[in-house]
Amino acid sequence: MNQNQPNNKQNNKTRPTINNNPKRNPKQSNKPTNGGRSTSRGAAIRAQKRSLDDAQKMIDQYTSASQKPGLRPRANTIVDDFDKLKITFLGGLEDVGEKNCTIIEYQNDAIILDCGNNLGVDLPGINYEIVDPTYLEGIRHKIKAYVITHGHLDHIGGLKHIVPKFPAPIYGSRYSIGIVEKTFDDVPAGQEHFEPKTVVMNMDGHERLKIGNFFVELLRITHSIPDASSVVIDSPVGRIIATGDFRLDPEPLDNKPSDTERLKQLGDEGVLLLLTESSYSDAEGRTPTEHTLQQSFHDIIKNTQGRIFCAVFSSNMNRIQMIINSAVESGRKVALDGRSMMAYAEIAVRQGILKVPKGTIMAMKDATNVPDEQLLVMCTGGQGEPNAALQRMSEGNHQYIKLKPGDTVVVSSSPIPGNEVRYDAIGNNLAKLGVHLYRHPTHEVDGCGPLHVSGHARRDEMRDMINLVRPKFIIPVHGGMLRRRYHAELAIEEGWKRESTVLANNGDSFLISENKVEPVGQVPHGSLLVDQTGSVVSNIVVKDRIILAGEGMMAVVLTVDRKTGTLLTSPDILTRGFIYIRDSEELMNGLRTELRRAVVQRFKRVDLDRFKQELKDHVTHYLYDQTQRSPIVIPVVNVVGGKQSGNNEKQNNPNKKSAEKTPEQIEKDQQERFAALRAKLLNSK
C-alpha cells in the first residue's frame, strides 16, 4: 500500500468513498504483508467475483441449466399437440444414480415415471438433490399418478418432497410400495406428515390398470432389489416400455427371473418407444448371476474363527439371504447394523421375501455378549459413506463395536464410479486396525471367490432386450451421455436406423407420433438441494458456504456515538477460516486504523445502509490488498446515544418510534443487543 497519507479533504470532494491509502500505524512494520504489492479496488472486486463465480460453477453442476440464456425455448411455453404423446426428462440422463424422473403426457393426463434423489452431491452441508419441480407446477392439473419401477432411492427418494405438493396415487410392486411408504415416515423439516395414497400392482398376473387415457402394467425384471419392474404404458398413440434398472439373470436366487416371455409378446403386438437403461453399455458380455457368489460367502463364513462383518447394499435381499443362510449353517447369530439395513430387512421379512430362522437375528446392543466365533454383523457402509455403520467402525466411533485384529471384514461391493477415493479410504482404515479384509475388486489377491455382481445389464443383455421388444424408437436413459451413446450405437448395430435412436438431455421434451419423435425444447429442470434435516437449501446459502470454506469470513463490529459520529470502543474484529488473529497483529492494527478513519470520514455523511456497504467494500479491498484473499465481510454497526441527525436519522428511525423512549432507554437497549451479538460471536470460537 502507499505509505503517504493523502489529503482527506480533497479525497472526500473527488469521490464519495472511504480513503483506501491511509498512513500506516507507526507500530506497524513498513513491509506490507503482500510483499509490497498494492492492488486497485477493481482487483479486489474482481477477486471476490472470481470466488463467487467459482462457487456458482460448483452449484451449476446441480442447479437448472435451462434458466441460462441462449438455450432452446422452454417446452412448457409451447402449445401441446393433443394428438401426440409428450415425454419430458427432468432427471436421470446425467449419470447412474442421478434423480431419475420422466413425465409422460397425453392431452390432459400425465404420469410421472419414478421420482428419485441423487446422493452423489459434493456440496457443503448438502445430503442429496431432487428434481426442480417448476415444470410440474405448470401441469399439476394433469398429474394422475406416480409409477415406480423399483425401490432404490435414485428412483423413489424425491417422492416425499414432491408428492405432498402435487398429490396423486403412487403405483408400484409390493416391495417397492413398502419402501416408498417407509420413506414418508421421515418427515422433512418444516413439513407436516403426509400419508400418500399407494396402489400395489400384481406383476405376475399382468394386471393392467387404467389411469386417465393410459393403461399401465408392471412386468417382473431382475435387479439388485426385490420386486423390480419394467413399466408398460399404453396410450392412444402407442405403447411405451420403460425397462427400469435391469439385468436378465436366468437363475436369480429368489427363483423369480425376468418376464422375457411377456416382453416378447408385447414386442409382437408392437411397441412405439423403448426407454432402456444404459449403466453398463460400455461392458461387453453378460452380468454374472448372483449364484456365482454363494460359494465365496459360504467358504469365508465357514473357515473364519473370529467375528465377521459383512458390508452389503441394504436393499439387496438376495445377497442378504445368501449370507444369512451361510451364517445359520455355521452356527452364527446375525446382527443388522445401519438404519436402511434394518428398515429394508424389516419390510422384506414382513412380506416373506427374506426368510430368517427364529432366533437368528439379534439387536446390535446385544452383539457384544456373543462369543466372537458365533457372531456375524451385516452392516451398511461398503462404499465408505459418511456416518454409515462400517465407516464408524473403521474410525473407532461405533457405539457398540470396536474392531480388533482377528476380526474379518467382507466388503461385498465394487466402488461406484466416482467414489473410488472413499472406497479406498475405508479399506486403508480397516487395514490399519489389523482386521482381515476381503473386497470384491481384490478378491483374487485376498484369497477368496467373487463377492459382488452388478444389478445392471451388460451389452449382450441390452441386445436381448432390444430384440425382445423390437420398438420403433429407442431412447437410452439412466447414464451419462457417453454410456447412452454407446447404447444408441449398439441399437444401430442391431439394425435400428440412426434416426430411430434418440439421445436426450435432462430438461428435453419431445412430441411423439406414430412415425416421429420430435424435440420441442427444454423445460426448467436442474435440482433442489436438500440438507440432512430434509430441508431444501437455497443456492445462495450454499454459495456462501463454498466461499466460507475457501476464503473464510470476517465480522467487524463498530459502536458509534450517534451525536458525535465517533467510535465509543475499539473496533471488534472476529474471523473464521480466514486468519488467526493472534498471529496477524500487524494486519489487525492496520484494519482498526482503517475502520476508525472510515467512521470519521463517512458515518455522518451517508445513511446507515450506505455506510455499511462502503465499509464492507473498503474492508474487502484492504484485506485483498494485504493478503490476496477475499473473505466474506460482515459489518455490524451499533449506533448509540441521543437523537439522530443528518442522513442517518431517516434510515435508522423511519417511523420515529424511538421518540417514545428516553435516550437512556434507547442506549441501554442498543448496548444490550450489541453485547448479545458480541457474546454470540465470541462463543462460536
How much is the pLDDT for 666?
Answer: 61
What SS3 class is residue 465? helix
Cβ 252 vs Cβ 293: under 8 Å? no
Cβ 532 vs Cβ 144: under 8 Å? no
C-alpha cell at 428: 486403508
Cell 497483529 sits on residue? 585
What SS3 class is residue 535? coil
Cβ 203 vs Cβ 263: under 8 Å? no
* pLDDT-based confidence at residue 29 (cuts at 50, 70, 90): very low
Identify the structural domains of the chain with CATH numbers, from first to last. 8-30+552-683 (3.10.20.580), 77-285+456-536 (3.60.15.10), 291-446 (3.40.50.10710)
What SS3 class is residue 467? helix
Q: How many Cα atoms occupy the beta-carbon half-sphere of 419 within 13 Å? A: 19
> Which residue, 318, 279, 500, is CA-closest to 412?
318
Average per-residue pLDDT for the chain: 85
Q: How many helices (H) and strands (E) does the chain have?
A: 20, 27
Predicted confidence (pLDDT) per residue in 507-530, tens digit = 999 999 999 999 999 999 888 999
User: What integer is the mean pLDDT of 543-567?
Assistant: 88
Cβ 124 vs Cβ 529: under 8 Å? no
Q: Is 370 exposed, middle or buried (0-12, 13-18, 19+ CB in 10 A)?
A: middle
Predicted confidence (pLDDT) per residue in 176-206, tens digit = 999 999 999 987 767 788 999 999 999 999 9
Axis crossing angle, helix 459-469 with helix 260-269, rounded to the nearest 10: 40
* pLDDT-based confidence at residue 72 (cuts at 50, 70, 90): very low
Predicted confidence (pLDDT) per residue in 74-100, tens digit = 444 444 677 899 999 999 998 777 899
C-alpha cell at 586: 500487524
User: What integer is the mean pLDDT of 128-154?
Assistant: 96
CB proximity list for 315: less than 8 A, separation 6 or greater: 151, 152, 179, 224, 225, 340, 344
**Helix residue ranges per DSSP H, 61-127:** none
The DSSP bridge partners found for residue 556 are 573, 635
How much is the pLDDT for 196?
Answer: 95
Extract long-range pairs of 417-425: CB within 8 Å, 24+ residues apart: 417/95, 417/96, 418/95, 418/120, 419/120, 419/383, 419/384, 422/383, 422/384, 422/385, 423/383, 423/384, 425/384
Cβ 551 vs Cβ 578: under 8 Å? yes
For 37, left (φ over 0), alpha (ψ -120 to 50), or beta?
A: beta
pLDDT at 406 over 50: yes
Q: ∠ CA 114-120-123 to the nearest 5 degrees?
A: 125
Predicted confidence (pLDDT) per residue in 568-626, tens digit = 999 999 999 888 888 888 898 999 998 998 888 888 888 888 999 999 998 999 999 88
Higher pLDDT, 255 or 67: 255
Cell 398413440 sits on residue? 237
> Which residue, 374, 296, 366, is CA-closest to 336?
366
The DSSP bridge partners found for residue 600 are none
Q: Which of 139-148, 448-457, 513-522, 617-626 is predicted with the least confidence, judged by mean pLDDT?
A: 617-626
* pLDDT-based confidence at residue 662 (cuts at 50, 70, 90): low
How many angstroms separate the CA atoms of 58 and 656, rounded? 45
How much is the pLDDT for 287?
Answer: 96
How much is the pLDDT for 545?
Answer: 87
Q: ∠ CA 80-86-89 to the nearest 5 degrees?
A: 125
Q: Which of 332-346, 425-439, 493-507, 549-563 is predicted with the least confidence, judged by mean pLDDT?
A: 549-563
Predicted confidence (pLDDT) per residue in 274-312, tens digit = 999 999 999 999 999 999 999 999 999 999 999 999 999
Q: Is 616 exposed, middle or buried (0-12, 13-18, 19+ CB in 10 A)?
A: middle
Edge-to-edge order in the sheet of strand 239-242: 208-211, 214-220, 229-234, 239-242, 273-277, 473-477
